[in-house]
Amino acid sequence: MNQIVIDTHLHLDSNKYSNPSEAADALEQDRKAAGIDHCIVLHLLSQNWSKEEFSDALSDYPSLHGFVNVHPEHSNCLNDLEQAIKSLQFCGLKLHPRLQEFSIGSASTKALVRRAGDLGVPVLIDAFPDGTHIMQGFDALSYVKLANSCPDTKIIVAHMGGHHVLDFVMLAKRVPNLYFDISYSFLYYRGSSVITDMIYGMRSMKFDRIFYGSDYPDRGLKATLDQSIAVFDQHTVSALEKNKILYSNASEFFGFS
């Protein structure tokens, strides 16, 4: 039997396509070809597609589900989020502190993340510590402080925190509303000890609260899936454990059946 897969971290391709409908159609073709059941597609303000255009583009495809990107320091952000969730079929909030250049510890970020919890939707926050992010003061503790101050909001730490994965995992054991996706990092750090650390982190969390993601279109859907499964197999991750990461954790979290 083929493994059922949910990809919880990908984007529309704005380099190749000038409008979101074409990009969504291309993603849908790739999704079918890769045999992926559901996709969480992250809207980005930097792509210059409004949330309305983005939502409209996804609306033709019941397997594509959007997370809206708003800026925590914009005066209308609470209303923008509420409108996106209540009227535009978005099912979560995406935040990118590095690209959007905001402080994860600010009062406005807390207010926005709390509002997501009030609206019953999760928040996915970029946590890839590249040189820029480290220079901006990347710190696992800031994510955890935010999670602690918004206990009713489920927070997904994207990319499993990159090479800070061990700090994140140790902290997640104390903070029940923290979740992870393994996108990008799981292949980016191949050849380094970070992959072993990610697998160690998954094992120490009993493979709970961790989701698969590809970060398409930076990486191809099918190639990323095949290569990720190969890494799991190299580390003798069992079929049951793989199923939790690739499918069942996300299907329960997002309520897909």
Binding site for Zn ion (CB under 5 A): 215
Looking at the Cβ atoms of 56 and 218, the one nearer to Zn ion is 218
Query: Which residue lies nearest Zn ion, judged by its C-beta?
Result: 215
CB 124 within 8 A of CB 9: yes
Using alpha carbons, select from 48, 105, 50, 41 the residue that is nearest to residue 72. 105
Report the nearest approach of Zn ion to the CB of residue 42 (Å): 6
Query: What are the φ and ψ backbone dihedral angles of 4, each rounded to 5 degrees?
Result: -80, 140
Shortest CB 46 distance to Zn ion, Å: 11
What is the end-to-end Cα distance of the chain in Å, rounded?
Answer: 17
CB of 10: closest distance to Zn ion in angstroms?
7
Q: How far is the CB of 236 from Zn ion (least distance, A)?
A: 28
Angstrom distance (rounded) from CA 17 to CA 49: 11
Query: Mind giving me the DSSP string for 119-171?
Result: TT--EEE-----HHHHHTT--HHHHHHHHHH-TTS-EEEGGGGGGGHHHHHHH
Q: Which residue number, 30 or 215, has a Cβ lying nearer to Zn ion?
A: 215
**Least distance from Zn ion to the Cβ atom of residue 183, Å:** 6
Position of tokens 């927070």?
A: 155
Nearer to Zn ion, 158 or 171 (CB): 158
CB-nearer residue toward Zn ion: 34 or 78: 34
State which residue, 197 or 215, has the beta carbon closest to Zn ion: 215
